[in-house]
């Protein structure tokens, strides 16, 4: 594995985000550097050719990621724990002793361990954290009324939303992604977080056929707007009456197009959450 990296002034960050943090791209990391004037972008490439191309296009640096570095990255506990309401702590640590410590420090919250890996969804991206917050809020109603609920997570990445759903008490959880690496990562995270009762499989949303007679109380889809728009009718059909649909990963400039596509399926008046350049929506089916 090769890593292309470059340090640039903060003003350039949006350009690099647009180029490398598209939601079908899961191999780039952007880190703000101390002083908040510069950031570092790192893109993890499977082959040297791919990394060399980035070096030729943007300058910067190229290095080979040695197995031991990769292991260190995966074991990283350097990311600060992320708090989601009073319900979850997301940590990058996969060490049992550290997780125990975090659990003790944040009593009453479930700890979700998602080490850095080549899949999207460590909790620190706005789109993921908004989905997590919405999940916590929406599911309170089911818990309060002692009602069973089910969840399907489309484009699961690391599996973080599916894992959170299971911890929140979902009776049935299913998730899929078209990226086989993401599926491997999600499976590992599901085991690591001791939420084994989740069906996880590889599928492309464009080809996905929701099972007849199965409808979901909650569907989460944190995917780019063009993928959502093309598949909203199918997603809508898989949603149970009064079901909740959480859409995220929508760039502000695509907000209107998603609302228009949703209207065609009779989904109306979403709650809209804007964070930076990202938009998330919560729809309720009649």
26 touching ligand SAM, by CB under 6 A: yes
Residue 52 or residue 224: which is nearer to ligand SAM going by CB? 224
Yes or no: say if 117 and 158 are a contact pair by the CB < 8 Å rule: yes
For the segment 2-21, give every residue that binds ligand SAM (CB under 6 A). Answer: none
Which residue in the set 163, 167, 177, 217 belongs to the binding site for ligand SAM (CB under 6 A)?
Answer: 177
Which part of the chain contacts ligand SAM (CB under 6 A), choosing from 50-58, 110-118, 204-212, 257-265? 204-212
- Any idea what the Cα angle at residue 51 is, between residues 125 and 201, rounded to 5°? 50
- Residue with the two structure tokens 């109306």: 268
Distance in angstroms (rounded) separating the CA atoms of residues 152 and 17: 28
Residue 142 or residue 178: which is nearer to ligand SAM going by CB? 178
Q: How far is CA 110 from each of CA 115, 167, 168, rounded to the nearest angstrom?
A: 16, 7, 9
245 touching ligand SAM, by CB under 6 A: no
Q: Is 144 exposed, middle or buried (0-12, 13-18, 19+ CB in 10 A)?
A: exposed
Which residue in the set 222, 244, 261, 280 belongs to the binding site for ligand SAM (CB under 6 A)?
Answer: 222
Q: How far apart are the first and last CA of the chain?
A: 48
Where does the chain have alpha helices with state H? 13-20, 48-58, 67-74, 96-105, 126-144, 160-167, 180-192, 225-237, 255-264
Which part of the chain contacts ligand SAM (CB under 6 A), choosing from 90-98, 138-146, 176-184, 271-279? 176-184
> How far is residue 116 CA from its own chain's centroid?
12
Give the nearest residue (CB) to ligand SAM: 155
Q: What mask of x and - would describe binding to ligand SAM in positions 106 to 125, judged by CB under 6 A?
A: -------------xxx----
Residue 100 or residue 174: which is nearer to ligand SAM going by CB? 174
Tell the smallest beta-carbon distance from residue 59 to ligand SAM (Å): 28
Q: Which residues bind ligand SAM (CB under 6 A)?
A: 23-24, 26, 119-121, 127-128, 131, 153, 155-157, 160-161, 177-179, 182, 204-206, 222-223, 227, 249
């Amino acid at each position: 594995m090769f890593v292309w990296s470059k340090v640039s002034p903060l003003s350039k960050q949006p350009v690099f985000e647009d180029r490398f943090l598209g939601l079908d791209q899961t191999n780039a990391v952007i880190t703000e550097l101390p002083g908040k004037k510069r950031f570092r972008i790192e893109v993890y490439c499977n082959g040297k050719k791919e990394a060399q191309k980035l070096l030729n296009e943007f300058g910067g640096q190229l290095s080979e990621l040695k197995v031991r570095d990769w292991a260190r990255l995966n074991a990283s506990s350097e990311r600060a724990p992320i708090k989601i309401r009073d319900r979850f702590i997301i940590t990058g640590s996969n060490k049992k002793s550290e997780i125990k410590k975090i659990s003790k420090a944040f009593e009453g919250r479930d700890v979700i361990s998602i080490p850095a890996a080549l899949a999207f969804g460590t909790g620190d991206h706005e789109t993921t954290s908004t989905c997590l917050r919405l999940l916590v809020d929406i599911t309170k109603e089911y818990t309060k009324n002692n009602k069973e609920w089910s969840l399907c997570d489309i484009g699961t990445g690391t599996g973080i939303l599916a894992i959170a759903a299971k911890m929140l008490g979902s009776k049935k959880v299913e998730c899929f992604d078209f990226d086989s690496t993401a599926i491997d990562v999600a499976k590992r995270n599901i085991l690591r977080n001791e939420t084994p009762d989740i069906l996880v499989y590889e599928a492309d949303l464009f080809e996905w056929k929701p099972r007849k007679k199965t409808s979901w109380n909650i569907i989460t889809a944190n995917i780019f707007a063009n993928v959502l728009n093309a598949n909203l009718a199918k997603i809508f059909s898989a949603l149970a009456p009064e079901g909740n649909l959480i859409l995220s990963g929508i760039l502000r400039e695509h907000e209107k197009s998603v609302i228009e596509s949703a209207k065609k399926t009779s989904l109306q008046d979403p709650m809209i959450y804007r964070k930076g350049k990202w938009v998330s929506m919560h729809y309720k089916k009649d």
